[in-house]
A and B are shown apart, each in its own frame.
Chain A
Amino acid sequence: MKSEGLSPIVQTIAGILFPMILIFSFYVIMHGHLTPGGGFQGGAIGASAVVMLIVAFGAKNIEKKIREEKLSAFESIGGVVFIAVALLGLVMASTFMSNFLVGDIIFGKIPPFGSNLGILNSGGILPILNLAVGMKVIGGLSAVVLVMALASKEEKNDI
C-alpha cells in the first residue's frame, strides 16, 4: 500500500486550494455578528482545510512539518484568551462575562434599529470571543484527526 498520499495532480491542487479555504474560514469567523456564522462554523471550515492536506500528502509527511504539540498549544491559547476576556469583564463592570465594550472606542458602535447594511465596528466583546472559539475548534479537530491517522497507519506495519 502506498503510504505517501495520492497522485501528484491531487497534491498540486490541494496546495493551491489550502490558503483560499483558510481565508474563507477567517472571513466567516470575523463576520460572526453580522451574517450567519460565527466561531464554531468558521472553525469547522478551517479544520476541514487541514484534513484535506492530511489526506492528500499522507500523515507521516504532515507530521514532520506540523507536529501535534503545536496544534495542541494553538488550542490552549484560544481557551486562555476566552477566560481572560471573561474575567476582565468581572474587573471592569460588576458581573462575569459582561459586555463592557459597548459604547467605547474599539468595538463599540450601536447600530440603528431595523434593517441596515451592517457595521464591522460594532458588537462589544463578541468578535474577540468568536476569534478565541475559532482557534480552539481548529486546533482541537486537526489534532484529533492527525493522531488517529498516525495510529491506524502504524498498525498495518505491525501485522
Chain B
Amino acid sequence: MIYNVPFLAVVVLIAIGAYALLFKRNLIKIAIGLTILESGVNLFLITLGYREGDVAPIYTNLPSGRGMVLPVPQALTLTSIVIGVAVLALILSLIIRIYRKYGTLDSHEMRRLKE
C-alpha cells in the first residue's frame, strides 16, 4: 500500500477539483476547479502505464539493454489535454459574455435576474 503513492495523489487532486466545482459561487473559481479535475485525470492516465526501471519508448539513441514503458496511455493523454484546452476556451468566452450582460460574477445572483 505504501507504493501506491501516485494513485493517492490522483485521488487528492480529483477531490480538490470536485470540491471547488460543487461548493463555490464565483464563476472563475468554478472554471479553475474544472481544470484541476482534468489535471488529475491526465496524471492517472500516465501513471497507469509505468514499468519499473524502463525508459521512454523511442528507438533513437536508446541506451543498450533497457526495456520500454507502455506507449498507448501516453497517446490517450495527448488527446485529453487538447480536449481540455478547447473546453476551457469556450467556458471563458461564455463568462465574458455573461459578465457584460449581468454586471456581476456571482452565480446565486444570476438565478434571480431572469428577464
Contact = CB atoms under 8 A, between A and B. Distances in A.
Q: Do A and B have CB atoms closer than 8 angstroms in the complex?
A: yes
A115 B78 contact: no
Interface in B28-63: 56, 58-63
Nearest to A43: B82
Contacts of A115: 59-64
Interface of A: 34-36, 40, 111, 114-118, 141, 144, 148, 151-152, 155
23 contacts: A34-B60, A35-B58, A36-B56, A40-B78, A111-B59, A114-B59, A114-B62, A115-B59, A115-B60, A115-B61, A115-B62, A115-B63, A115-B64, A116-B60, A117-B60, A117-B61, A118-B61, A141-B85, A144-B89, A148-B93, A148-B96, A151-B96, A155-B100
Interface residues of B, number: 16
Contacts, number: 30
Contacts of B18: none
Contacts of A148: 92-93, 96
Contacts of A118: 60-61
6 tightest Cβ-Cβ pairs between the two chains A and B: A115-B62, A118-B60, A34-B60, A144-B89, A115-B59, A40-B78
B75 to A, nearest CB: 10
Contacts of A116: 59-60
Contacts of A34: 60
A84 to B, nearest CB: 22
A114 B93 CA distance: 49
A114 B78 CA distance: 26
A155 B78 CA distance: 36
Nearest to A115: B62
Nearest to B65: A115
A117 B61 CA distance: 6
